Amino acid sequence: IKKYDLDHINYLKIDTEGHEINILESYSWSIKPDLIKIEHAHIDDIYAKSLLEAHGYLVYTETSDIYAII
């Protein structure tokens, strides 16, 4: 984000085979993506949902994916 001087993120997809929570917990949230899609096959989807909701997202969980909309 700093390297490319970004001020807005439209869409963020996270599919890192079990490391999604690490990414969410370490992200600064200085820029909140409009839409986030996360595969939750290898993580606690309830915890991931609560993390996203804590940052103001409306969260929908499907069979394999979580969608978060600001």
The tens digit of pLDDT for each residue in 5-52 reads 999 999 999 999 999 999 999 999 999 999 999 999 899 999 999 999
SS3 29: coil
Report the side by side order of strands in the sheet with 11-14. Answer: 11-14, 35-39, 65-69, 58-61
pTM: 0.92
47 or 2, which is more confident: 47
Looking at residue 62, its amino acid is E
Whether 1 shows a pLDDT value over 90: the answer reads no
Q: In the chain, what's the furthest Cα-to-Cα distance?
A: 35
